[in-house]
Structure 1
Amino acid sequence: MIKPPWIRSVRRALLAAGATAALATGLLTATATTSQAATQQPCDIYAAGGTPCVAAHSTTRALYAAYNGPLYQVRRASDNATLNIGVLTAGGFANAPAQDSFCANTSCVITDIYDQSGKGNDLTQAPAGGAAGGPDNLANAFAAPVTAGGHEAYGVYVAPGTGYRNDTTNGIATGDQPEGMYAIFDGTHFNNGCCFDYGNAETSNTDTGNGHMEAIYFGTENHWGTGSGTGPWIMADLENGLFSGVNQHLNSGDPTVNNRFLTAIVKGGPNQWAIRGGDARSGGLSTFYSGVRPNVSGYNPMHKEGAIILGIGGDNSKGSAGTFYEGVMTSGYPSDATEDAVQANITAVGYGSNTGPLHAVGAGKCLDVPNGSTTPGVQTDIWTCNGGANQGWTHTSGNQLTVTENNGTTLCLDASGKGTTAGTKVITWTCNGQTNQQWNLNANGTVTNVLSGLCLDVASGSTADGALVELWTCNGGSNQQWSQQTS
């Protein structure tokens, strides 16, 4: 939906709980309307249902109403210093502004995703495994900006080669013991690589046989099994097979799902398991499979080992892509009613995106990084809008306009050479927090550079694909008018 002329994300406080806010033209500041803490969060609900969390991971919010500890840790490139990112209040949302401040003028990666359950099941950089060398890459801390409850937050952006793991856990199901798990993913970020997983895996980082895993999978890998349509699908990675149902291959009841924010559930016990899913912003859950274990040798009984993985397969297969916001693992097989209550809690959060294309109004095209280049110094242009990552811009709380390419590289819109004269090239550059990378999004539809006060301008008023973008004296022309679309 076009929201003219601007969605301003000062502190990203532009969402009301349960829905994306439709903001009036010219609204430049806002106050979050969602309370910081709920009386119950997902792990409180699971505990009340008799299936307590034994692992709880999130970079966006607390998963217990009383939780007041760290959510994750970031490390900055400039001096390798680290900072734990906690919550704004007990039971509330991530203190993302602390990350913004700590990582200003440099880049940061996510080093640790802390377990909120108290069992110490933290996720850290995955080591080498049987399928691929390591250690795996760490996620760019700024590559998955979102809003949660009207507050700025960041997810875990898994580009191929990125992975987290814990091989020495406490309380995670082993053997044929029952367990449940859910995760919130970006349903538009996926590939056909193996394997974007969250859940239970081998402790040896190698493939130890059928039934030695039980993890949520999301993507379009179809070598072992599929759902209906072209995907992506929620499936279960049970090792040596991605399963959508009882059969090794197709389950037509497991649909293609690509909600911007997706709730994905897998649970399993002695000769029973299920897949469920739904839109993490509205509505309930659907059951895509519920029944007996697969009719292939080795999966009944199961042989789960109790490690936890995120973004990779059990043997460290790491060709996958995806984005993770929150997830838990439980002791015991949760009831559908308990999961339905958790889904209601999730939809009340009001997850939202403040990233979207910047439309050049006069040309009817989008601000574009040519060929999706990740090389600093490339001059931006306009191009037919295509939904590509190289046209997805985020206006940060630091007034930067950032773009994250498909490989996870994040760059900032930049006035080249700190230029302050008409005709200065507008390029992408490594983010550094300086004023030539800060942009005011104005109520009249213009975008002005903080350093120079000049307007973002399509050169010569061109409407052609590839027309270059520069700074120019503000003149009210349609080639200086911009609007943004967010999801």
Structure 2
Amino acid sequence: MTLAAGVALGGFVGVLATAIPAQAATQGPCDIYASGGTPCVAAHSTTRALYAAYNGNLYQVRRSSDNTTLNIGVTSAGGYANAAAQDSFCSGTSCVITEIYDQSGHGNNLTDAPAGGAAGGPDALANATAAPTTLNGHEAYGVYIAAGDGYRDDSTSGIATGDNAESEYAVLDGTHYNSGCCFDYGNAETDAHDDGNGTMEAIYFGTEKAWGYGAGNGPWIMADMENGLYSGVNAGYNSNDPTTNYRYTTAMIEGGANQWAILGGNAQSGGLATDYSGARPNVSGYNPMHKQGAIILGIGGDNSKSSAGTFYEGVMTTGYASSATEASVQANIVAAGYGSGGTSTGGSAGELHAVGAGKCLEDPNSTTTSGTQVDINTCSGGANQTWTRNSSNELTATVSGSTFCLDANGKGTTAGTKVIIYACNGQTNQQWTVNSNGTITGVQSGLCLDVTGASTANGALVELWTCNGGSNQQWTLS
């Protein structure tokens, strides 16, 4: 989609290895699609295998300390991502996701998106630790797309072109989104330019209303068909396309000859709702379609990249999947157990990473003076950057034998309140809620722990601020 202008913390973790043994799936989503006569031609996931027999790599990470890379595979055939390998490799430094491998055998791997018709490029790469999650107790990481991040493959194999039929699904974080253009996954132009109506067919998720929108305030699942985000038969409002913001959201788009559909549901329970099923938009260029067969993630077809969102898994098929097939795929996603079990809410100790800055929360200069405002700095592993969440919901650091609590200065409840170290006293301004969307909020104030001005500089101060979904309010502990 073209537009010139324009979170997920699965608990409080650095995604530690668990003692839960991996169990191979008896059937994956792509096995189900194949049985239904609509086989996968692209299958991407950083969390699990999408075929019961898949035993290859899921994705690749690169660490900043020496720019070396590591492929992250599964713990067993048909199993979950080997998050422990990533944790070990990225320990003491930061990592980005450099490639997301296609499990279908077609070689449709997603890499850094190049410059396109929209301003800017090549795109930035996703922080590899910004979207920790669990699947049936197994730790894994999603792909956290901040504005400016994006992935693409313009030289694909097997992807639908022209007016040929396809089906697409993605499992997304329904609480991480914005109104920027365009958080997409699916079929796009092969030249990274806006090539006109009908040259795309991708899942869109967010609150952009310039072309189409649904009921409520959003976010909505819509189809990006280029020069239009469609929630129904025409641009504009479709009251049957609901706000869909489950923590783990299943989003589906199906497209064939003058027929397409939107389906959505809770990726943790229940079935799918059909938000639209009918004819193509009644505008020149969409019937027949002119799909080109590239694959994008987190961006629009012309590399518009002001969007945000989190992706866990998704596929593209050849052929228009039946409702029975899609129902079986949804049941498989639910059975994968996103967000269930594991130690993702545990009270472990480690560095508290500011996702947007790639720095660590610290007690500046290891001071033992209560009232000192905390800041962010290059991660060093020092005691002044080691934080523990205890059973009282306090965040504590022990420096030179003294233990301090993270504290909202003066029991402040207004945006801009300084966050300081202070002697622990059991009061609510020293208690913190760790949220599944990656934020940390003060129990007393309800405000978010925030890096002032979204700065990425060493010494940037930390305060309380109204929660706004920004990457400067995203945190992980490792």
TM superposition score normalised by structure 1? 0.80
CA distance in structure 2 between the partners assigned to 1:222 and 1:446 by the alignment? 40
**For residues 230 and 99 of structure 1, do their structure 2 counterparts lie closer, same or farther at Cα, with a shift above 3 Å needed?**
same
Asked if the contact 2:22/2:75 (under 8 Å) is kept, the reply is no
Partner-residue secondary structure (3-state), 2:106: coil
Q: Which amino acid aligns with 1:250?
A: Y
**For residues 206 and 353 of structure 1, do their structure 2 counterparts lie closer, same or farther at Cα, with a shift above 3 Å needed?**
farther
**Any residues of structure 2 matched to 1:453-472 within 5 Å, and which?**
454-457=402-405, 462-465=410-413, 468-471=418-421
What is aligned with 2:245?
258
What is aligned with 2:397?
449
**Structure 2 residue 219 is matched with structure 1 residue 232:** yes
CA distance in structure 2 between the partners assigned to 1:459 and 1:329 by the alignment? 48
The count of corresponding residues between Structure 1 and Structure 2 is 422
CA shift at 1:419, angstroms? Answer: 4.2
Q: Which amino acid aligns with 1:334?
A: A
What is aligned with 1:223?
210
CA shift at 1:439, angstroms? Answer: 2.3
What is aligned with 2:385?
437
Asked if the contact 2:407/2:429 (under 8 Å) is kept, the reply is no
**For residues 145 and 11 of structure 1, do their structure 2 counterparts lie closer, same or farther at Cα, with a shift above 3 Å needed?**
closer
Q: Residue by residue, what CA displacement relative to the aligned partner does 1:317-337 show, whole Å, maximum 9, x if unpaired?
A: 112111111100011111111
What is aligned with 1:54?
41
**Structure 2 residue 181 is matched with structure 1 residue 194:** yes
**Any residues of structure 2 matched to 1:113-132 within 5 Å, and which?**
113-132=100-119
What is aligned with 1:19?
none
Asked if the contact 2:184/2:202 (under 8 Å) is kept, the reply is yes
**Structure 2 residue 190 is matched with structure 1 residue 203:** yes
What is aligned with 1:175?
162
CA distance in structure 1 between the partners assigned to 2:15 and 2:179 by the alignment? 35
Asked if the contact 1:12/1:150 (under 8 Å) is kept, the reply is no
Partner-residue secondary structure (3-state), 2:57: coil
What is aligned with 1:401?
352
What is aligned with 2:365?
417
2:228 paired residue among 241, 244, 269: 241
CA shift at 1:431, angstroms? Answer: 3.1
CA distance in structure 1 between the partners assigned to 2:292 and 2:417 by the alignment? 56
For structure 1, which segment, 261-270 or 409-418, has the greater mean C-alpha deviation from structure 2 after superposition?
Answer: 409-418
CA distance in structure 2 between the partners assigned to 1:253 and 1:193 by the alignment? 23
RMSD value, Cα: 2.7
**Any residues of structure 2 matched to 1:261-276 within 5 Å, and which?**
261-276=248-263
What is aligned with 1:359?
none
CA distance in structure 2 between the partners assigned to 1:444 and 1:157 by the alignment? 29
| Unpaired stretches in structure 1, ≥5 consecutive residues | 1-6, 14-29, 355-392
What is aligned with 2:280?
293
Q: Which amino acid aligns with 1:148?
A: L
2:303 paired residue among 300, 316, 337: 316
What is aligned with 2:431?
482
**For residues 206 and 416 of structure 1, do their structure 2 counterparts lie closer, same or farther at Cα, with a shift above 3 Å needed?**
same
CA distance in structure 2 between the partners assigned to 1:61 and 1:468 by the alignment? 41
Q: Which amino acid aligns with 1:201?
A: A
CA distance in structure 2 between the partners assigned to 1:76 and 1:295 by the alignment? 48
CA shift at 1:9, angstroms? Answer: 4.6
Q: Which amino acid aligns with 1:486?
A: N
Q: Residue by residue, what CA displacement relative to the aligned partner does 1:355-380 show, whole Å, maximum 9, x if unpaired?
A: xxxxxxxxxxxxxxxxxxxxxxxxxx
For structure 1, which segment, 236-245 or 465-474, has the greater mean C-alpha deviation from structure 2 after superposition?
Answer: 465-474
Asked if the contact 2:177/2:308 (under 8 Å) is kept, the reply is yes
CA distance in structure 2 between the partners assigned to 1:72 and 1:460 by the alignment? 39
**Any residues of structure 2 matched to 1:73-92 within 5 Å, and which?**
73-92=60-79
**Any residues of structure 2 matched to 1:152-167 within 5 Å, and which?**
152-167=139-154
What is aligned with 2:458?
none
Asked if the contact 2:49/2:79 (under 8 Å) is kept, the reply is yes
CA shift at 1:184, angstroms? Answer: 1.0
Q: Residue by residue, what CA displacement relative to the aligned partner does 1:63-97 show, whole Å, maximum 9, x if unpaired?
A: 11121111111111121111111112221111122
**For residues 152 and 133 of structure 1, do their structure 2 counterparts lie closer, same or farther at Cα, with a shift above 3 Å needed?**
same
**Structure 2 residue 342 is matched with structure 1 residue 329:** no
Q: Residue by residue, what CA displacement relative to the aligned partner does 1:369-393 show, whole Å, maximum 9, x if unpaired?
A: xxxxxxxxxxxxxxxxxxxxxxxx9
What is aligned with 1:151?
138
For structure 1, which segment, 223-232 or 447-456, has the greater mean C-alpha deviation from structure 2 after superposition?
Answer: 447-456
Q: Which amino acid aligns with 1:274?
A: A
CA distance in structure 2 between the partners assigned to 1:394 and 1:429 by the alignment? 25
Q: Which amino acid aligns with 2:115?
A: A
| Unpaired stretches in structure 2, ≥5 consecutive residues | 1-10, 437-478
CA distance in structure 2 between the partners assigned to 1:478 and 1:338 by the alignment? 53
Q: Which amino acid aligns with 2:404?
A: L
CA distance in structure 1 between the partners assigned to 2:412 and 2:86 by the alignment? 39
**For residues 66 and 216 of structure 1, do their structure 2 counterparts lie closer, same or farther at Cα, with a shift above 3 Å needed?**
same
**For residues 444 and 208 of structure 1, do their structure 2 counterparts lie closer, same or farther at Cα, with a shift above 3 Å needed?**
closer
**For residues 210 and 463 of structure 1, do their structure 2 counterparts lie closer, same or farther at Cα, with a shift above 3 Å needed?**
same
**For residues 231 and 467 of structure 1, do their structure 2 counterparts lie closer, same or farther at Cα, with a shift above 3 Å needed?**
closer
For structure 1, which segment, 445-454 or 135-144, has the greater mean C-alpha deviation from structure 2 after superposition?
Answer: 445-454
What is aligned with 1:64?
51
Partner-residue secondary structure (3-state), 1:462: helix
Q: Which amino acid aligns with 1:443?
A: S
CA shift at 1:264, angstroms? Answer: 0.4
CA distance in structure 2 between the partners assigned to 1:175 and 1:460 by the alignment? 57
Asked if the contact 2:349/2:387 (under 8 Å) is kept, the reply is no
Q: Which amino acid aligns with 1:326?
A: E
Q: Which amino acid aligns with 2:427?
A: S
**For residues 409 and 139 of structure 1, do their structure 2 counterparts lie closer, same or farther at Cα, with a shift above 3 Å needed?**
same
Asked if the contact 1:447/1:455 (under 8 Å) is kept, the reply is no
CA distance in structure 2 between the partners assigned to 1:187 and 1:10 by the alignment? 21
Asked if the contact 1:399/1:439 (under 8 Å) is kept, the reply is yes
Taking only the aligned residue pairs, the percentage that are identical comes to: 65
TM superposition score normalised by structure 2? 0.81
Q: Residue by residue, what CA displacement relative to the aligned partner does 1:11-52 show, whole Å, maximum 9, x if unpaired?
A: 568xxxxxxxxxxxxxxxx854x8532211111111111111
**For residues 410 and 45 of structure 1, do their structure 2 counterparts lie closer, same or farther at Cα, with a shift above 3 Å needed?**
same
CA distance in structure 2 between the partners assigned to 1:421 and 1:468 by the alignment? 15
Asked if the contact 1:10/1:396 (under 8 Å) is kept, the reply is no
Asked if the contact 1:42/1:342 (under 8 Å) is kept, the reply is yes
For structure 1, which segment, 326-335 or 343-352, has the greater mean C-alpha deviation from structure 2 after superposition?
Answer: 343-352
CA shift at 1:231, angstroms? Answer: 1.7
Q: Residue by residue, what CA displacement relative to the aligned partner does 1:270-308 show, whole Å, maximum 9, x if unpaired?
A: 111100001111111100011111111111111111100
CA distance in structure 2 between the partners assigned to 1:437 and 1:394 by the alignment? 20
Q: Residue by residue, what CA displacement relative to the aligned partner does 1:426-445 show, whole Å, maximum 9, x if unpaired?
A: 43333343343222333355
Q: Which amino acid aligns with 2:72?
A: I
Partner-residue secondary structure (3-state), 2:254: strand
**For residues 452 and 120 of structure 1, do their structure 2 counterparts lie closer, same or farther at Cα, with a shift above 3 Å needed?**
farther
